[in-house]
Amino acid sequence: MTQRTTTTATVTSLARGSISGRFRPCDDCTCSPGLLSRQGRRASLFLRQIESSRRKTHSHNRNSIAGIDNASIYSSDSLCQSNKEVNTSQRLHALRSEMEKHDIACYIVPSEDEHQSEYVAAIDQRRSFISGFSGSAGIACITRDLLNFNTGHHEGKSVLSTDGRYFNQALQELDFNWSLLRQGVDQTTWQEWCIKECQEMSEGLGNKEVKIGVDPKLFSYHQIVQIQKLINDKLAGFNANVSLVPIKDNLIDAIWNEFEVVPEREKNELLMLHYEYHGEEFQSKRDRLMKSLKEKYATSDNAKHTFVVVALDEICWLLNLRGSDIEYNPVFNAYLLMNDDGETILFCDNPTNEEIKFFFSDNAIIVKPYNEIWEFLNVYTNELESQSNDSEQSHSIFLPDTSSWQIVRSVENIPYKIIHSPIDFFKSVKNDIELGNAHRAQVKDALSIIQYFSWLEQQLVEKEALIDEYKAGEKLVEIRKTQKHYMGNSFETISSTGANAAIIHYAPPKDNCSMIDPSKIYLCDTGSQFLEGTTDITRTLHFTKPTQEQIDNYTSVLKGNLAIERLVIPEGTTGYSIDAIARQFLWERGLDYRHGTGHGIGSFLNVHEGPIGIGFKPHLANFPLQVGNIISNEPGYYKDGEYGIRIENDMAVKRAEGLQFGDRKFLRFENITLVPYCKRLINVKMLTTQEITQINSYHSRIWNTLVQSIQPQSITFKWLKEEVKPLRE
């Protein structure tokens, strides 16, 4: 295929999603709403049942229904109303039967795939299958009660642990079989819960060994070490025997096809990214990597080293390739191995065009099937062990700290060292070409979002049209498709009205979402993938007259956003150190938000990119911000059941020229997003003169950058002109 054909295929795959059109309805539809959402279809059976119930109720009690219908023309039934009509009982029973075969009392089902990806392909969404919870972060723990001696009756408990972004969503999607453990709120962690449950069973059985089982490919070795240490600490002094064991065959995979057609693993054609989009060729990146490993970790001058690359976005960055195996994420399933001898081995099943085949040949990259990584590691490490015994030359394998337990188990017979992957740092620092492209991507997305907001306001207010959340998001995609090099969204658009905006990671269902109510807050968190770069932008709007509370809370969020943007920080400062600056104005009012303030953003890669971030997670204290980073700035506030507010810009970290204290230089932030704030929601009396000047300067920059690309007679032109008018004190 030609380059153009490859690009078109990638665009199509990214835009349509990776799992559409492959599922049949479940027999008797035992899926929960979360599962139906995950499969790219909705509970049409539930909706028919709801509609049938409406008709029956309407015929019996017209006055009652009339009262409900008149409450708001924008209200709609929520899928969560159907949660009690379905359950995961059969799935859990089947899983516990498998647990019995493997003699385990507790089985842990994570969200991640074997590369520790945050967002995963449909075939890797095992936690969603077993629990019904469709959020991107969380972990399911299921026990089998060993103290229940009734033959054939598999009983036990099941919990889902997730963070503050998903509390509301989890409560809606989990059925009666599940309890929710709220990370950072509930005193018990999921690890402690598993250990406690198994401890009680072990004690009840007279100190019998009780096993916690995990798929060793889905847990990082670091996680395993932590869990094992916690088991030892918690059981010290108790008459209990609890062990953590690897289960080679995934138990969810063993039962999945009893309930659904199991998704196929995507193997879409790869895309070659050219120099004008990445700015550094593969060999240069490879040389930098191997030099970094040798300088930091070499034990002797003649030591040999091998590095295994696990993270999918790191492989894509290093090879200047992109894929579409995971929806919204331009990555492909692969492992990569490199050594000092010049060998580069890619384990990958994806088809390639002639240009990529030439690239592999020209750079001596050997391609092997994806699943051969395990046999290869066994053979490779045995050969290295034999060579080390026959000579004085040492050979070490470096493994990233995201490596699975299974990878570590595969190389245990030779010296290995677990490190934080240097590639994680390299790709987070954008070169001049990537930064220039990031600016171009922001202009394209700003034009699309401004056109969308102007259209939406006209439809809702002037034309009094009924537009639901999902169709609104689809309109934004339609507008984005007119931009050159648009490769799809960078995540599922959060298009949310009223109370739905209080659900931090809300995604509107296609068939049964709410109508956008112009008398309520509307939150839109959305992003694009362009060849030039990745965007992530949130704006909170009101189309009519907001309440004073909403105005004041929006302004408090905005003040935090502006404060982060104005910061000048010394080199070596981390995002952990500055998170409180965004929250201070909310804290003054006794308010807060349950998510981080910022995350790294890839360059036509994952929208959430490590290792940097702005937040309260301790690991962020280990990774200082650097010139060339692109990071989001997104404080918020959420009032459950009423509304949500979030304002998100993407910022580039730059040198603060002319500032230096001793040998220490300083950094500043550049807001590269070009979408105006909502004037209706700003309380100018709460702003300082500095903040007013900052907003007016920003709006002036937006106008000067975008106006030449907008038709003067269009509604977009008129909307933008009104939104960027200067604020007055």
434 in Cβ contact with 244 (< 8 Å):
no
As a residue count, the chain comes to 729
Rounded to 10 deg, the angle between the 190-204 and 221-235 helix axes is 50
Residues with Cβ < 8 Å from 135, sequence gap 6 or more? 162, 165, 166, 169, 170, 505
Q: What is the per-residue pLDDT for 58?
A: 41
Rounded to 10 deg, the angle between the 44-60 and 62-69 helix axes is 130
Domain with CATH 3.90.230.10 in the chain: 432-723
Residue matched to tokens 């299974």: 406
- List per-block mean pLDDT (blocks of 10 residues) for the chain, which spans 729 residues: 36 36 38 47 33 39 34 40 59 96 97 95 96 93 88 85 91 94 94 96 95 97 96 92 96 96 94 98 97 84 86 98 97 96 95 97 97 94 74 80 96 90 97 98 98 98 97 98 98 97 92 95 98 98 98 98 98 98 98 97 97 95 97 98 98 96 96 98 98 98 98 97 94
Residue 62: CA count within 13 A, CB half-sphere: 1
Which long-range contacts (C-beta less than 8 Å, at least 24 apart) are formed by 475-479?
476/448, 476/449, 476/452, 476/524, 476/526, 477/15, 479/448, 479/451, 479/452, 479/455
Residues with Cβ < 8 Å from 121, sequence gap 6 or more? 18, 19, 113, 263, 265, 266, 325, 326, 327, 333
- Per-position DSSP letters for 340-396, written without gaps between them: TTS-EEEEE-----HHHHHHHHHTTEEEE-GGGHHHHHHHHHHHHHHHHHHSS--EE
Backbone region of residue 251 per phi and psi (left: phi > 0; alpha: psi in -120 to 50; beta: other values): alpha
> Considering only CA atoms, which of 71, 91, 100, 83 is closest in space to residue 32?
83
> Considering only CA atoms, which of 466, 450, 487, 493 is closest in space to residue 723?
450
Give pLDDT tens digits for 516-569. 999 999 999 999 999 999 999 999 999 999 999 999 999 999 999 999 999 999
Q: What is the per-residue pLDDT for 382?
A: 85
Strands 179-182 and 209-214: unpaired
**Span 271-427: which CATH code?**
3.40.350.10
pTM summary value: 0.88
Q: What is the per-residue pLDDT for 413?
A: 84
Cα 501 to Cα 644: distance, rounded to the nearest angstrom: 4
Q: What CATH number matches the domain at 432-723, 2.40.40.20, 3.40.50.11030, 3.40.50.300, 3.90.230.10?
A: 3.90.230.10
Domain with CATH 3.40.350.10 in the chain: 90-256, 271-427
Please give the class, per CATH, of domain 90-256: alpha beta
Q: What is the per-residue pLDDT for 152?
A: 64
Q: What is the per-residue pLDDT for 647?
A: 98
Backbone region of residue 371 per phi and psi (left: phi > 0; alpha: psi in -120 to 50; beta: other values): alpha
> Considering only CA atoms, which of 669, 427, 676 is closest in space to residue 537?
676
Structure tokens at 479: 């507008």
